[in-house]
Structure formats: C-alpha cells, structure tokens
Structure 1
Amino acid sequence: MFSLTSRQGDFRSAGKRFGAGASAGGDIVLPRWLRRPARFMQRVNAGEVEAPRYAASAMTALLFAATATYGTIAGGHFPQVVQDVTARTGFAIAQVHVSGNRETSEIDVLQEVGLDGWTALMGFDAEDARGRIAGLPWVESAAVRKVYPATLEVVITEKTPFAIWQQGNQLSLIEKDGSVIAPFAGGRYAALPMVIGMGAREAGPDFIAMVERHPDIARQVRAYIRVGERRWDMRLKNGVTIKLPERNEALTLATLAQLDREDGLLSRDITSVDMRLPDRLAIGLSTDAAEAHEAAMRERLGLKRKSGARI
C-alpha cells in the first residue's frame, strides 16, 4: 500500500529521497519496508549495481521451482511429496512396536496403521492411525507415538470382559456395562458367569452385583437366565435351578442365603427351588430323592395301618 500526498514541491528530489516514482500531482510515499528494495532497484536501473553472473538463469530456475511448488500445494499433493522425499532420505518407518494387546492381533493393528514399506515417519498421521486402531473390537483406547528416525510405538488398552451373553445359539463376551466386545469362542474366559435370554445383556450386570453381596450363593451360580424380560432364574453348578420373583429380589436372595447357611438347602438332592410366591417355598426333588421320599411315605403309611389294626 502507499499514500498519495497533495504537497507541492520538487517531485524529483522526493523520488530520490524515498526511492520511489512520483507524479505531477504529488509525491508517492512508500511504506518503510519497501524503501530499501526500491532504492536498490534504482541503483540497478542506473547501472550502479552489476547483476551477478548467471543471475538470470538462477531467477528462471527459482521461478520454475516456485511455480512447481505452487502447483503441488494447490493440487493437494504437497503431503505426498513430503512423504516421498523423507521416505527416500532415511525417514521411512522401519519398525512398529505394539504393546498392551492380548486379544488383539498384531496383524490387525499393522493393517490399521496402514504402512506400505515407503511410509515416512515425518508425514505419517498418528492421530488418524490411532482412531482406526481404537475401532478394533477389543480395543478400549490406543496411543500412537512417533520415535525418530524410523520407529512407531502403539500402546493398546483392551476391554475387560465381564460375562458371557447367550442369545439363541450365539455367545458373546460383554463388558460390565453390557456392551458387546466380541463373539465368545471358548478359552480363558470360559469361567465367566453366563447371562441368557432377551434383556439379560442390559440387566445382567446389575443383577449379578446384587447376587455377589451373598458370596456363598454367587460361588455356586453357573448361569443367570432372564425369563420373559421380567425376572431371573439362577442355574447352579450342581444343576439346581432357583426361580426368583419379579420383585423384592434382594430380600429373596437374603432368604435363600439364610436357608442355605442354616439348613444346607442347596446341597441337598433337589432339582429346583421355586421362590416366586412370597408366602411359600416349593422344592423340586431329584428322581432318586422323589423315589426315596415316596418309599418312606409308603412305609410310614404301612406302619400306621398296622398300628391301627392292633388297636
């Protein structure tokens, strides 16, 4: 920018003083940062300064270089150019260190990192890679760090499975909040509690926490079965089924724990304990126990008849 003044005077002397051209109507006052280049150009035009040898060739090369750079940036190719140049000058990623993964395959991690053998560390987008890795099923969070000149570090924090959810014939590992992690295929998580049925994935964690207030009961449970999305059955490791009511689950569990502690209820030869009605307890006997019970009843009835006959 420049300002045009209306002061009358010798515009030639003003031009010499400020190193700028002038017009008959006034002086042209250049900004301070342009005055030195303007004076230099005046000296060149006056022949006082001799241009260096090959200056024209250098300026032409500089012009071509500037044009190529502008075209690269305008066309969106500048990151790729930086990538190619740095990769071929010793900054290509040569090593990837992955840590914290137990269930996540390193092959899956490397695939999400997206290396092609010539990927330069300088132009590599670590945040973008972190987002892709965080999308893997087992990954809770991930950190990706560049270590110059040619190493990439990936640190993974994996999700913690809480239970096995069965829906139909499908088995899945779930977190404590009920989120599905991945399909269950056996292995180290086989001992986790199992929640079964519609609604069990969402309601299971809270109910399991309620049962765990009674450790002697919790240790015996193999599966928690959601019935009609309204109530729970508990399948014990010895095959006994506990049928709980829709309401007052906490009180019912406390009663069950007391009966087992005082009378050894759950270690008896039974198949089920029905606690759905608040005023009664229905116990299902095993086949052997039922037959033994029936024989004992017959014997008792027979003794009563004989005793009555003598009377």
Structure 2
Amino acid sequence: MRQVTRRDPAPSRIAYRMQRLLLTPLFWRALLWGLPLALVLGGTGLWLSDADRRQALVEGATELRRQIEERPEFMVQIMAVEGASDPLAAEIREILHLRLPVSSFDLDLQEVRDLVAALDPVAGVRVAVRPGGVLQVDVEERVPAIVQRRSEGLVLLDATGHPVAPLAAREDRADLPLVAGTGASRAVPEALALYAAAEPIAPEMRGLVRVGERRWDVVLSGGRRILLPEAGALRALDQAIALHQAQDLLTRDVDVVDLRNPRRPTLRLGRHGTEQLLQARSDR
C-alpha cells in the first residue's frame, strides 16, 4: 500500500519572517512615507537630469534673488560719516569709493570697518546700515597731543604715541609740545608727564629729545639742556626746577645740567660763565 506524505501546515521560516515584518508599525511607517519620498526624489532627479532644465532653474533662482536684494527697503542710498573732521570724512569717502545706491546684501560691513579703522587718525569705528537706506559710519578720531620731529618731517601723535597725521610746519601746531629722537613715539606718556611738570619753566622749554631710546634730554632756549636719568626722570626734573626757583639756575650761564646721576648733579658752564669762574679763582 502506497504511503502518502502529509504537508506540514506550519509556515516556512521566510514566510514567518515576512508575516512578522508586515505586523511591525515601523515597516508601515517606512512604507507610508518612504515610498512617496522615493518617488518624489526619483522624479526630481529625472527632471533635473536635463541640462536645459537645470540651467533654467539656476537662472530663475538668480533672478528671484536679484529682485529681493534690489527691493527699495534693502537699498543703501546714502552714507553718513559722524564724529570725523571734514578732512578725515573726505578721506573715508575716498578710500571706500562706494557707488550708491547699492544693495545692502552687496556691502561687506566688516571690510568697510577694516578699511576705515586702518586710517591713522581713526581710534575706533562702528559701521551699520540704518533704516531708510543709510550706511552709518561712526568714527572716534584721535586727538593730537604732541608733535614728533622725524627725519622725514613732522608728525602729529596722540597721547598714546600713535601717528595721527603729518604736519607741514611747526608753527601750525605751536600749541603742542615737541619731541624728537629714536623711540620718542613709544614714550609719549612719559614725555607728556615731563611737559606737565615743567610748567614753571615753560617759557624756556623748546622740546624733549629721546636719547638711546631709554632717557630724555630737556632742550631749553639757547641750546641749553637738562640731562635726565633713565629712571626717575620726573623726580630729577622736579629737582632741577626747584634748584632754578631757589637760585635762578637757568638764568645763569649754564649750558648743561646733568642729572643722570641724581646723587651727583653736574653743571657745565658756558664760555662766559667759565671765564668768570677762572677770573674769580685767579683773584683769590
């Protein structure tokens, strides 16, 4: 008698896994969202595969951007420079060389700020686009505090020693003190303090000369000098002024008052003073 093999009613392993997958919520979400997304991306890719279509899309986007950027509310019509003198304002306009009107999207405000800040007379600058199409440039201008004589000519410096502008003639800023010598610009704060302390002898003052980039000589009328030490220059100058007020030192025929060694001040007499001293000694 022939034996019949019965079929196993249990699903195969693959069928079982497929059934389990169909019952998974994540699968249905992926099917619900992933399939339409794949169709959209595939259709888009197929549409963009044509070079003419891509070119038309780029041109359309460029034109749309241009229309937005050139809307009146985004256009800069004028530039306002505040806080600067007329010559500095003119120089700022010249270096920026903006062709107005221009879209604010085409303005690099950081570049504008850097160009203005690089000018010697400018201590600080703020740049912004104000409502109404105004490019606002607020400038903090350096204030000349002293004149430095250099080999190439005269230069105005601020109180920190930073250059402000060239000076054509000393007479143009005779109200400012004068310094000279290598390294003088790096010691402007000390020079200003010495000038302030020398107020009692201001009529005799002609300037300060930096010597060896480490100390000052006070230049007086007639080429006379007070040699100040490297350290304690202000104290030494006060000592010289006190000596003058007590004994009329600077009215005598003295060429040099050497205070480089404050413990041993030295006087160098002029020719007339030397002759008088020799005559006095010979009369003894």
Gaps of 5+ in 2: 1-15, 40-46
What do you get for the CA RMSD once the two structures are aligned?
4.4
| Secondary structure of 1:191's aligned partner | coil
- Alpha carbons of structure 1 residues 10 and 281: separation in structure 2 relative to 1, 3 Å: closer
TM-score normalized by structure 1?
A: 0.62
| Equivalent residue number for residue 206 of structure 2 | 222
Q: 1:149-298 alignment to 2 at 5 Å?
A: 149-186=132-169, 189-217=173-201, 220-229=204-213, 231-236=215-220, 238-239=221-222, 241-247=224-230, 249-266=233-250, 268=251, 270=253, 272-276=255-259, 278-284=264-270, 290=272
Q: How far off is 1:188 after superposition?
A: 5.6
| Secondary structure of 2:222's aligned partner | coil
Q: How far off is 1:82 after superposition?
A: 4.1
How far apart, CA to CA, are the structure 1 residues paired with 2:53 and 2:201?
78
Q: Which amino acid aligns with 2:154?
A: L
Cα offsets for 1:230-288 (capped at 9, x unmatched): 5432223x43522315455344312211122223333x264633325725423326xxx
How far apart, CA to CA, are the structure 1 residues paired with 2:96 and 2:66?
15
How far apart, CA to CA, are the structure 2 residues paired with 1:163 and 1:213?
15
Q: Is the 8 A contact 1:239 1:271 kept in 2?
A: no
1:119 pairs, out of 102, 108, 113, with 102
| Secondary structure of 1:201's aligned partner | helix
Q: How far off is 1:125 after superposition?
A: 2.7
Task: Detail structure 1 runs of 4+ shifted over 6 Å in the superposition.
Answer: 63-66
Q: Which amino acid aligns with 2:19?
A: Q
Q: How far off is 1:206 after superposition?
A: 1.8
Q: Is the 8 A contact 2:113 2:127 kept in 1?
A: yes
Q: 1:24-43 alignment to 2 at 5 Å?
A: 28-31=27-30, 34=33, 38=36
Cα offsets for 1:197-255 (capped at 9, x unmatched): 1222223432442453353135642210123445432223x435223154553443122
Count of matched residue positions in the alignment of Structure 1 and Structure 2: 249
How far apart, CA to CA, are the structure 2 residues paired with 1:189 and 1:69?
66
Which structure has the higher relative contact order (CA within 8 Å, separation 6+)?
2
Q: How far off is 1:116 after superposition?
A: 1.9
Q: Which amino acid aligns with 1:96?
A: M
| Equivalent residue number for residue 94 of structure 1 | 77
| Secondary structure of 2:76's aligned partner | coil
Q: Is the 8 A contact 1:200 1:225 kept in 2?
A: yes
Q: Which amino acid aligns with 2:184?
A: A
Cα offsets for 1:39-64 (capped at 9, x unmatched): xx9xxxxxxxxxxxxxxxxxx9xx99
Q: How far off is 1:151 after superposition?
A: 1.3
Q: Which amino acid aligns with 1:133?
A: V
- Alpha carbons of structure 1 residues 189 and 180: separation in structure 2 relative to 1, 3 Å: same
- Alpha carbons of structure 1 residues 99 and 166: separation in structure 2 relative to 1, 3 Å: same
Q: Which amino acid aligns with 1:263?
A: Q
Q: How far off is 1:173 after superposition?
A: 1.9
How far apart, CA to CA, are the structure 2 residues paired with 1:193 and 1:33?
85
- Structure 1 or 2: larger helix share? 2
Gaps of 5+ in 1: 19-26, 42-59, 305-311
Cα offsets for 1:162-185 (capped at 9, x unmatched): 321222242222233333333222
Q: Which amino acid aligns with 1:201?
A: S
